[in-house]
Amino acid sequence: MKQSAFTLIENEALTARFSLLRLKGDCSAIECPGQFVSLSLPGFFLRRPFSVCDWDEQSFSLIVEEAGKGTALLRRLQPGTELDVLTGLGKGFDLVKSGDAPLLIGGGSGVSPLLGLAKGLLAQGASPRVILGFPSREDLILLDEFFRLGLAPTVTTDDGSFGIRGRVTDAMDLPHSFFYACGPAPMLRAVCEASPVSGEVSLDARMGCGFGACMGCTIQTVNGPRRVCKDGPVFGKEELRWAD
Amino acid sequence: MGRLSVSLCGIELTNPIIPASGTFGYGHEFSQFYDLDLLGSFSMKGTTLHPRFGNPTPRIAEAPAGMLNAVGLQNPGVDAVIAEELPRLKKVFHKPVMANVSGFSVEEYTQVCARFDAEPQVGWLEVNISCPNVHGGGMSFGTDPKAAAEVTRAVKAVTAKPVIVKLSPNVTDIVSIAKACEDAGADGLSLINTLLSLRIDLKTRRPILANTTGGLSGPAIFPLALRMVWQVSQAVKIPVIGLGGISSAEDAAEMMLAGATAVQVGAANLRDPFACPKIIEALPAVLDRMGAETIREIIGGAHG
């Protein structure tokens, strides 16, 4: 974990709800895809946590979905704005487990960390396949970025306006060695149940600190209470106990 | 004694800055960020006799200049704290630590305190009779002078360590509770715990927190905490630890002028993991500007 100042260098509205932000600064604490950063916003007490979408030594990108006042402010911030950021938070995806043909499944803003993950998997010689799910054609994000990596994601939309009509699980009949998923909790549960093999999912949570101190984001797992921010956000399929 | 050192119930602190219970875990996370020995001490996560999962999530909500929490005393239980957390802490923290104790009956408080009494690493017992987020325990002991006195007396009987009683602000007259604890043998008081609060989500039209209510902390409560520390420190002879919304060295100095012998820093740690070392580093310059040679000379200074 590192606390440092970052400068917003890009803030692009991708859809009505999603923006892509790029921040410039010291990214040395970011170790693997699936980790997150936590931004301090002017006028708000609590930080806001976001999965890292993609990163290099000098900058990282993230997808912001407008969910309340904090994210609305963030989408309006002008490039040049300086923000206090905690980087390198949480336990990310374990790329060693991927096997030769991992399946990446993202829903909504949950596609964000899968971009960095896809890059990492390609770099280690794996052949990832990607399924991305959105409510509708207008909600599609990051599709071009996956194509630029040479990957052709299968897209599902709830209303059938793009790709396959239905949910990500309707496209999951591809053989795969392991899966990685990020998206809304009901989707993650359905993915875990639909896949015959092991996998990892990245959970979202309302957090206090983001680094394991406040116990604000605890979930019950088969191994006992775990903090989403510190023990996760990535958890193994076998660890999770889905609450009803 | 150094410029920043203070004496708390007979134990010298190299500075008066103490991370507050519930914002610092058992020290492990923060020991990866900075040298814990920089701190005066810290107060460990509230510990009960048995392990507790705590409340359902969401447990956290934003507030103007602060936050609500309804964690509900998640902790691994006193036996696990003694078996696992204290040995791990011993490697990274070489000062007396404050053990924060919670319970649902007088007997539970005494059992946990008796266990911690046998631990040389523990300098003080901070008896939390003010948690607003659990039912049938915690705060119900801290809102009635008789119940507060009963817990204090019972705990004092099982330990030789200084007993600091942590008071709730969710009362009509905090001074009467403070005096009841002093009369029952408390060696010190810490105040305030969080304020019982509520947020509602406009979209769902329901409370944000799964527990419905939570405790408000952060800068929003600082003036209120300051007023209570001012009142209580005038009414009792035992030392008072001031807490509630402290996030700068100036806040700490103000709290000590109001009568606090030491201060705890809570929510600020969650917003900025380096809040405490930053405050400690800034304190000498604040004393310089105040024309104070030592921090001890400002304690209670506002009372004239």
Q: Which residue of A has its CA nearest to B73?
A: A215
- Whether residue A216 and residue B60 make contact (CB cut-off 8 A), yes or no, is yes
Percent with pLDDT over 90 in chain A: 98
Q: Are residues A114 and A163 located together in one domain of the fold?
A: yes
Specify if A99 maps to a domain. yes
Q: Are residues A11 and A126 located together in one domain of the fold?
A: no
Count other Cβ atoms within 10 Å, centred on residue B214.
30
Chain B contacts of A209, Cβ < 8 Å? Answer: 23, 269-271, 273
Q: Which residue of B has its CA nearest to A39?
A: B271
Q: Are residues A229 and A111 located together in one domain of the fold?
A: yes
The one-letter code for the residue type at B93 is F
Q: Is the peptide bond before B223 cis (omega within 30 degrees of 0)?
A: no
**Residue pLDDT, tens place only, B193-251:** 999 999 999 999 999 999 999 999 999 999 999 999 999 999 999 999 999 999 999 99
Strand A178-182 and strand A224-227: the pairing is unpaired
Q: Which residue of B has its CA nearest to A40?
A: B271
Residue B138 confidence class, pLDDT cut points 50, 70, 90: low
**Residue pLDDT, tens place only, B11-21:** 999 999 999 99
Average pLDDT on B36-45 reads: 98
**Residue pLDDT, tens place only, A187-225:** 999 999 999 999 999 999 999 999 999 999 999 999 999
Specify if A168 maps to a domain. yes
Specify if A244 maps to a domain. no
CATH of the domain at A51: 2.40.30.10
Q: Smallest CA–CA separation between B209 and chain A, in Å?
A: 10
Question: Is the per-residue pLDDT at A240 higher than 80?
Answer: yes
- Whether residue B59 and residue A225 make contact (CB cut-off 8 A), yes or no, is no
For residue B230 the two structure tokens come to 């001012």
Q: Which residue of A has its CA nearest to B247?
A: A45
Q: Tell me the C-alpha distance between B54 and B71, whole Å.
A: 6
Q: Are residues A79 and A156 located together in one domain of the fold?
A: no
Q: Are residues A82 and A122 located together in one domain of the fold?
A: no
**Residue pLDDT, tens place only, A24-42:** 999 999 999 999 999 999 9
**Residue pLDDT, tens place only, A155-164:** 999 999 999 9
Which positions ≥6 away from A76 have C-beta within 8 Å?
none
Helix ranges, A18-86 (H): 69-76
Q: Tell me the C-alpha distance between A133 and A238, whole Å.
A: 23
Average pLDDT on B39-47 reads: 98
Q: Tell me the C-alpha distance between A56 and A78, whole Å.
A: 22
Kindly state the helix (H) or strand (E) to which residue B80 belongs, with its residue range: helix B78-80
Catalytic one among B9, B113, B131, B181? B131
Q: Which among A89, A117, A146 is the end of a domain?
A: A89
Q: Which among A89, A114, A134 is the end of a domain?
A: A89
Percent with pLDDT over 70 in chain B: 97
Q: Are residues A82 and A99 located together in one domain of the fold?
A: no
Q: Are residues A229 and A132 located together in one domain of the fold?
A: yes
CB of B67 within 8 Å of a chain A CB? The answer is yes
Taking phi over 0 as left and psi of -120 to 50 as alpha, with beta for the rest, B122 belongs to beta
Q: Tell me the C-alpha distance between A92 and A231, whole Å.
A: 10
- Which residue did the predictor score with more confidence, B41 or A174? B41
Task: State the pLDDT at residue B231.
Answer: 98
Mean pLDDT value across chain B: 96
Which positions ≥6 away from A56 have C-beta within 8 Å?
A27
Give the number of A-B residue pairs with CB atoms closer than 8 Å: 90
Task: State the pLDDT at residue B134.
Answer: 66
Interface test with A, best of B271, B272, B274 (most A CBs within 10 A): B271
Strand B122-128 and strand B97-101: the pairing is parallel
CA distances from A68 to A62, B150, B161, B206, B208 (A): 17, 46, 48, 15, 13
Q: Which among A37, A55, A89 is the end of a domain?
A: A89
Specify if A110 maps to a domain. yes
Taking phi over 0 as left and psi of -120 to 50 as alpha, with beta for the rest, A36 belongs to beta
Which positions ≥6 away from A204 have C-beta within 8 Å?
A110, A184, A185, A228, A233
Secondary structure (DSSP) of A88-134: EESB---GGGG-SSEEEEEEGGGGHHHHHHHHHHHHTT---EEEEEE
- Asked whether the beta carbons of B69 and A214 are under 8 A apart, the reply is yes
- Asked whether the beta carbons of A79 and A9 are under 8 A apart, the reply is yes
- Asked whether the beta carbons of A34 and A26 are under 8 A apart, the reply is no
**Residue pLDDT, tens place only, B150-190:** 999 999 999 999 999 999 999 999 999 999 999 999 999 99
- Whether residue A230 and residue B54 make contact (CB cut-off 8 A), yes or no, is no
B181 in active site: no
Question: Is the per-residue pLDDT at B256 higher than 90?
Answer: yes
Q: Are residues A111 and A211 located together in one domain of the fold?
A: yes
Count other Cβ atoms within 10 Å, centred on residue B179.
19
Question: Is the per-residue pLDDT at A119 higher than 60?
Answer: yes
Question: Is the per-residue pLDDT at A186 higher than 60?
Answer: yes
- Asked whether the beta carbons of A126 and A101 are under 8 A apart, the reply is yes
Report the residue from A45, A47, A207 with minimal CB separation from B63. Answer: A45
| Chain centre distance of CA B212 | 23
Question: Which CATH superfamily is B6-303 part of?
Answer: Aldolase class I (3.20.20.70)
Report the residue from A84, A212, A217 with minimal CB separation from B57. Answer: A217
The boundaries of the domain holding residue A76 are 2-89
Q: Are residues A58 and A169 located together in one domain of the fold?
A: no
Q: Tell me the C-alpha distance between B288 and B217, whole Å.
A: 29
Q: Are residues A100 and A150 located together in one domain of the fold?
A: yes
Q: Are residues A216 and A115 located together in one domain of the fold?
A: yes
Count other Cβ atoms within 10 Å, centred on residue B205.
7
Question: Is the per-residue pLDDT at A244 higher than 60?
Answer: no
Report the residue from B54, B61, B273 with minimal CB separation from A215. Answer: B54
Least confident of A168-177, B22-31, B128-137, B156-165: B128-137
Average pLDDT on B257-276 reads: 98
- Asked whether the beta carbons of B165 and B190 are under 8 A apart, the reply is yes
Secondary structure (DSSP) of A152-191: --EEEETTSSSSEES-GGGG--S--SEEEEES-HHHHHHH
- Whether residue B273 and residue A1 make contact (CB cut-off 8 A), yes or no, is yes
Domain count, chain A: 2
**Which sequence spans correspond to the domains of chain B?**
6-303
Question: Is the per-residue pLDDT at B68 higher than 60?
Answer: yes
Q: Are residues A35 and A76 located together in one domain of the fold?
A: yes
- Residue B109: name the closest of B59, B166, B27 by CA: B166
The one-letter code for the residue type at B38 is L
- Residues in chain A whose Cβ is within 8 Å of chain B: 1, 3, 40, 44-47, 70, 84, 86, 205-209, 211-220, 225, 230
Task: State the pLDDT at residue A53.
Answer: 98
State pTM to two decimals.
0.95
